[in-house]
A = this chain, B = another copy of it.
């Protein structure tokens, strides 16, 4: 909780949940990444929080942008980034969206199969592509599926195919899993990346870039290593696998850039029990839930710190749920959340570290509740 957010909230009447984002924290985070990885360019993952003021600040600081769609590309351009600072990082793109991106000047595209390479070759001839490889995602708190990327052996073929079709086989990318708490996880992926560099070099194709992806955590309830730990672990892994021929590198922080910059204020709508049994769980219902911005509580994956004005009194285990008429709109139940026994209906609570992956996930009008409001200060 920053003093600026505290002052802002003190002067604001509560009328539904809101997210407040402190730009000073975003600036600090950007500078921390720049310092920890001085030779690496930062591509902010716009999807984490696409608020125009956040993008403008980062554009002014010199950040580049990792985008998932044409809309995000346009947001980055409007924020002041030039097209050469934008990557179209989604491996799943419609051909007409690639054409639009190209018309907007974007020259850097993610791929994970030959089919995607062929789309790019047709509508963005000569563009640079990087191939995403699969990672196993151990150590990450947000589940990483096999949705993006291919095995390293296939990435070699994909990049060679791109080269033959007149594209620039530019590099390799991977993602170690979001909210990755183990800096050592970059090592294995960099070993695969180096293998791809060497194999393609033997075939006369010189790759230039390794996209180290995102995954940098924000602090929820558990302690996390500092950005500098990630910086040194990554640098050492690069040295180990690439020797003194270090590739150009980029990172794509999203959660690590804005997660701790935002706080959601929410209201306790109801506190009740399901029976009079002594050991029956206490249910606490907030005015925000899984469909109002806290989608990452899915399967109780992300566990947000929650602060109340009554912290310090005895804490009791609670099932925490959202306000909608959907039985799946429960935040924490398998692993109950401890909240003050003195908590009352109408109390305001602060849900910390909610600057990333909240607002844009929120449902457009589920149960008639409006989407999460954001205020950037």
Contact = CB atoms under 8 A, between A and B. Distances in A.
Interface of A: 45-47, 50, 67-72, 75, 89-95, 112-116, 119, 134, 137, 142-151, 153-154, 157, 178, 267, 269-276, 283, 285, 287, 291, 295, 298, 319, 321, 323-330, 333, 345-346, 359-371
A342 to B, nearest CB: 15
Contact of A47 (B270, B274, B325): B325
What 6 pairs across the A-B complex have the smallest Cβ distances? A71-B368, A113-B272, A69-B368, A68-B367, A72-B368, A364-B371
Given A147-B321, A361-B366, 5 more contacts: A47-B325, A47-B368, A92-B269, A92-B285, A298-B328
A52 to B, nearest CB: 12
Contacts of A46: 368
Given A113-B270, A116-B270, A272-B116, A89 B366 contact: no
A346 B146 CA distance: 22
A151 B280 CA distance: 11
Nearest to A359: B364
Contact of A145 (B50, B95, B328, B371): B328
Q: How many copies does the complex hold?
A: 2
A143 B145 CA distance: 23
B327 A142 contact: yes
A270 B298 CA distance: 26
B269 A94 contact: yes
User: Which of A67, A114, A325 has its CB near the most chain B CB atoms (within 10 A)?
Assistant: A325
A328 B274 contact: no
A31 to B, nearest CB: 25
A71 B328 contact: no
A71 B274 contact: no
A327 B75 CA distance: 23
A367 B327 contact: no
A364 B366 contact: no
A154 B283 CA distance: 15
A275 B154 contact: yes
Nearest to A154: B275
A69 B369 contact: yes
Contacts of A114: 272
B115 A367 contact: no
A325 to B, nearest CB: 4
Contact of A50 (B151, B178, B283, B368): B368
A327 B143 contact: yes
User: Which of A67, A274, A319, A333 has its CB near the most chain B CB atoms (within 10 A)?
Assistant: A274
B360 A367 contact: yes
A145 B281 CA distance: 13
Contacts of A70: 368
A148 B325 CA distance: 8
Contacts of A47: 324-326, 366-368
A289 B371 CA distance: 19
Contact of A275 (B75, B144, B151, B326): B151
A327 B72 contact: no
A144 B326 CA distance: 9
A272 B146 CA distance: 12
Given A270-B116, A276-B154, A283-B147, A364 B367 contact: no
Contacts of A328: 142-143, 145, 298
A359 B371 CA distance: 13
User: Which of A157, A267, A273 has its CB near the most chain B CB atoms (within 10 A)?
Assistant: A273
B145 A327 contact: yes
Nearest to A285: B92
